[in-house]
Chain A
Amino acid sequence: MSAIINILTAKLNYETSNLIYNEYQDRLKEVNYLLDNYDYYEDLKERRKVIETLLALSIFYKRIIANFDGFLAFTKTLHRSQINKILIGSKEYSKKETARLYFISKDFLDIMLKFNISYLIFDYNETKEFLRNCKEYRLK
């Protein structure tokens, strides 16, 4: 199977896919360094493939899904005022269009729920925090 990062970024526009892919590669180097050089992460060493997949998912969430969720929150604000259509540039977002966006976000959440992953695992700045989150998650 192709690396998850390639599957998630396939055909995205250059700017976005580059942003995600570069962050992933930079952090992956750090992940490998930390796993190879610190005993604290000993129990994660043999699970690099899982860590790589979670890393890809966390960056995809931050760069794509979180922005979709933010936009959907605004559409909810408008729906409360009985406004169901938004124009952004020349693109019109009808209720049907925003529902499609909602289902992307919901399907993503469903994967998280099915595998008991809290969004908190994605709440990190430094890569070592991400690894620490993975370690804690694994122990649960």
Chain B
Amino acid sequence: MAKKKSPFRNLQEFEKEITDFANKHKLEIVEHSKKISNYFEISSFNNLVRYYKNKGYSASPQNLIGGKYRYKCSPAGIQSNFSFFLISKKNRNIDYEYEIHHNLAVQSSHGDDIFTTPDIVVIDKSSVKYSDQYYTTKKKFSFVENVNMKTFCEVKNFNPFPELLFNFIGVLNELRKEYLEGKLQNHSPVQIAPTLIISGKGSKPTNLIKEKLEERYNVNIIYDVFYQGRYFFTKRAGELKKS
């Protein structure tokens, strides 16, 4: 029986295959590599949709623009010009409906007039508001009132490092001050707890910080989302904290 091919046995052939692959797709890889951070954010958004589907919600894309799903990649822009997902679930004979948005500003839990924009946010259905008072230029501003925000996710295409993790707690404090005060809200039906999704794997120090922060606050910190981390949105979804 012929031996299985391996780079250790067939290095020249292996390198030739990689070179052929690189040459064949060079132009497209170069073009798409400019959008890598968008692809990462979109893939995390998709993971969140999968999480809710796993929790018994139905999910459907809404607000298509000319039949196309228009993804909002930055805080700029008016929310009504972009698409989102509607998720719904029946619980004890009551229909619950929420929307999952990308890059929508959320009102602070400390004050009505300041806002921050998490990467992904779950809100009550039809609760996006608009104001022309926020900017001095009277430009239209889209936001959701804090009371209508159910949960949020931050996604980072980095390796974890301490400041990145502690910054997330800063956002949590701004958007969910009750979490830091130990006064948890009980949502019905349950929502995923505020979650930080990171592409890289943890090291000993950042694993320890993750453990301590998850112990202290009702949050999820997911590392290594392309490998082990992705299972938290499917078969290990039950292990994630809820709010």
Q: Closest residue to A92 on the B side, CB-wise?
A: B68
Number of A-B contacts (CB under 8 A): 147
**Pairwise interchain contact B5-A64, C-beta atoms closer than 8 A:** no
Choose one: B24, B46, B64, B227; the contact of A123 (CB below 8 Å). Answer: B227
A107 close to chain B: CB less than 8 A: yes
What separation, in Å, do the CA atoms of A37 and B27 have in the docked complex? 41
Q: Which residues of A lie under 8 Å from residue B134 when comparing CB positions? A: none
Which residues on the B side are within 8 Å of A13 (C-beta)? 30, 33-34
A87 to B102, CA, bound (A): 14
Query: Are A70 and B25 closer than 8 Å at their CB atoms?
Result: no
Give Cα A53 to B50, complex, Å.
35
Contact across chains for B18 and A67 when beta carbons are under 8 A apart: no
With A1-B15, A87-B70 known as contacts, the answer to whether A63 contacts B36 (CB < 8 A) is yes
Check B22–A7 contact: CB distance below 8 A: yes
Output the nearest chain A residue to B68 by Cβ-Cβ distance.
Answer: A85
B8-43: CB near A (< 8 Å → 1, else 0) gives: 101100110111011011101110111110111011
Residues of A within 8 A of B18 (CB): 4, 7-8, 53, 57, 111
Hey, which bits of chain A sit against chain B, CB under 8 A? 1, 4, 7-8, 10-13, 16, 47, 49-50, 53-54, 57, 62-64, 66-71, 73-74, 77-78, 81, 83, 85-89, 91-92, 100-101, 103-104, 107-108, 111, 114-117, 119, 122-126, 137-138
B111 adjacent to chain A (CB < 8 Å): no
Residue numbers of B with Cβ under 8 A of A are 4-8, 10-11, 14-15, 17-19, 21-22, 24-26, 28-30, 32-36, 38-40, 42-46, 49-50, 60-61, 64-65, 67-71, 73, 157, 199-203, 224, 226-228
Name the A residues within 8 Å of B4 (CB-CB). 116
Residues of A within 8 A of B50 (CB): 77
A116 engages B71 (CB within 8 Å): no
State how many angstroms separate the Cβ of B242 from the closest Cβ of chain A: 22
CB distance from B18 to the nearest CB of A (A): 6
Is B6 a contact partner of A104 (Cβ separation < 8 A)? no
- The residue that A53 contacts in the complex, of B15, B29, B203, B224, with Cβ under 8 A, is B15
B7, B73, B200: which contacts A88 (Cβ < 8 A)? Answer: B73
Pick from B45, B70, B201: contact of A125, CB under 8 Å? B201
A115–B14 CB distance below 8 A? yes
Is A115 within 8 A of B25, CB to CB?
A: no
Structural contact, A107 and B5, CB atoms closer than 8 A: no
B21 in complex: contacting residue of A73, A87, A111, CB < 8 Å: A111
Q: Is the CB of B21 within 8 A of A12?
A: no
User: A14: shortest Cβ distance to chain B, in Å?
Assistant: 10
Which A residues lie within 8 Å of B199 (CB)?
62, 66
Q: A8-B18, A74-B45, A115-B6 are in contact. Are A88 and B35 (CB under 8 A)?
A: yes
* Chain B min CB distance to A72 (Å): 9
Q: Which residue of B lies closest to A11 (CB)?
A: B30
The docked-state distance in angstroms from the alpha carbon of A96 to that of B196 is 33
Residue contact B46 to A115, C-beta cutoff 8 Å: no
B1 nearest CB across to chain A (Å): 14
A10-B22, A70-B43, A88-B73 are contacts. A64–B68 as well, Cβ < 8 Å?
Answer: no
Known: A116-B5, A117-B7. A88 touches B38 (CB 8 A): yes
* 11 sampled A-B residue pairs with Cβ under 8 A: A1-B15, A4-B18, A63-B36, A67-B157, A68-B32, A81-B61, A87-B68, A91-B35, A115-B17, A116-B5, A117-B7
